[in-house]
Amino acid sequence: MTDFENLKNVCSSCTKCELSKTRTNVVFGRGSSNPDLLFIGEAPGKNEDEQGIPFCGRAGDNLNKLLEENNVDINKIFIANILKCRPPENRDPKNEEMELCTPYLIEQIKLLKPKIICTLGNFSSKFVLANGNIKEMKKIEGITQIHGKLIEINFQGVDVKVVPIYHPAAIIYRRHLKDDFFSDFKIINNLLKEEN
């Protein structure tokens, strides 16, 4: 068994926090174990909890549209979340839950070694930047300020280019963010082309 499969097994039987009592499935993530691009969302919603797959509901439809529009090779991506279990009523993740759960994500990043990370929304952007060694940024700002910017970091030994974009659920109700969501991804698409 690979280290990644082992991590998935450990994560899938996790009972470190209260969310383990209300979840249906642990949503470890899906995709290539050698991805060029890693997407990081916030936490599973209702559909994801039921199916054990990240971004398979309405937010996932927007993410799929983004991938299709940019002809992204889905065999070269991985999709994960900050929390692996659904918070009841889709409330925000609590600090304690993030502290207990993110060691799984850190391990995922170290094992997957993606070239690019696309953080989706505030929670994952702040987490990745706060836990990485940022080369050129003094203060970590919110998604409104940093969306669409390329930020080079060393994430615990992994050199990676981070581009935060709005969360695909945010554009469902805030239509004015939709244009930014799609145009911010162009920078990632260009980076992907450089890689190949």
**Of the candidates 31, 36, 37, 45, which one interacts with ligand URA according to CB under 6 A?**
45
By CB under 6 A, tell whether 59 contacts ligand URA: yes
Given 3-state DSSP classes, what are the helix, strand and coil percentages for the chain, each rounded to the nearest 5?
A: 50, 15, 35
Number of residues binding to ligand URA, judged by CB under 6 A: 11
Alpha-carbon distance 126 to 119, whole Å? 9
Chain residues 152-171 in contact with ligand URA, contact rule CB under 6 A: 169
By CB under 6 A, tell whether 54 contacts ligand URA: yes
By CB under 6 A, tell whether 49 contacts ligand URA: no
CA dihedral 76→119→42→46, nearest 10 degrees, is -50
By CB under 6 A, tell whether 93 contacts ligand URA: no
Which residue, among 158, 169, 89, has the nearest Cα to 124 in the 3D structure?
A: 169
Q: How many angstroms separate the most distant Cα atoms in the chain?
A: 46
By CB under 6 A, tell whether 44 contacts ligand URA: yes
83 three-class SS: coil
By CB under 6 A, tell whether 42 contacts ligand URA: yes
Which residues contact ligand URA (rule: CB under 6 A)? 41-45, 48, 54-55, 59, 81, 169
